[in-house]
Amino acid sequence: QVRLIESGGGLVQSGGSLRLSCAASGRSFRAYAMGWFRQAPGKERAIVAAISWSGGSTYYADSVKGRFTISRDNTKNTLYLQMNSLHAEDTAVYYCAASDLFGPGAEYPYWGQGTQVTVSS
């Protein structure tokens, strides 16, 4: 089992940037494909980006393509989400999650507690 803790959320103005981090502990981090999800008020949780075990493959939701970058450092057991050109619509609680499979359709059994991102317009 892996434990996940997100950090880096906060309040940012529209057009600004934030970098989220997700620190993993427990079972080997490199054994998992990883994903970032978000849930805005009144909406269902949705995938934002995913990355394969080695980081060689990535997936992005259409709404964040060209603005967000997912990456991982397996030597530091850490997942990242660089978010640029933030819009008010990006306001949500962001979660990292771990899966045995890679891709938007994979099931993610392990979740962090979430970190709030608020973008002011």
- In this predicted model, what pLDDT tens digit does every residue of 8-67 receive, in sequence order? 999 999 999 999 999 999 878 999 999 999 999 999 999 999 999 999 999 999 999 999
Cα 110 from Cα 23, distance rounded (Å): 13
Report pLDDT for 85. Answer: 98
103 pLDDT band, cuts 50/70/90, is: confident
* pLDDT (0 to 100) of residue 105: 87
- What was the pLDDT predicted at 70? 98
pLDDT of residue 1: 85
The pLDDT, as a whole number, for residue 74 is 96
Predicted local confidence at residue 37, as pLDDT: 98
Q: Which amino acid is at 119?
A: V
Percent of the chain at pLDDT above 90?
93
Please give the average per-residue pLDDT across 64-93, as a whole number: 97
Question: What is the pLDDT averaged over residues 96-105?
Answer: 92
Alpha carbon separation from 24 to 28, 77, 116 (Å, rounded): 9, 5, 19
Q: Is the pLDDT of residue 117 over 80?
A: yes
- What SS3 state is found at 68? strand
The first and second tokens of residue 40, run together, are 């805005």
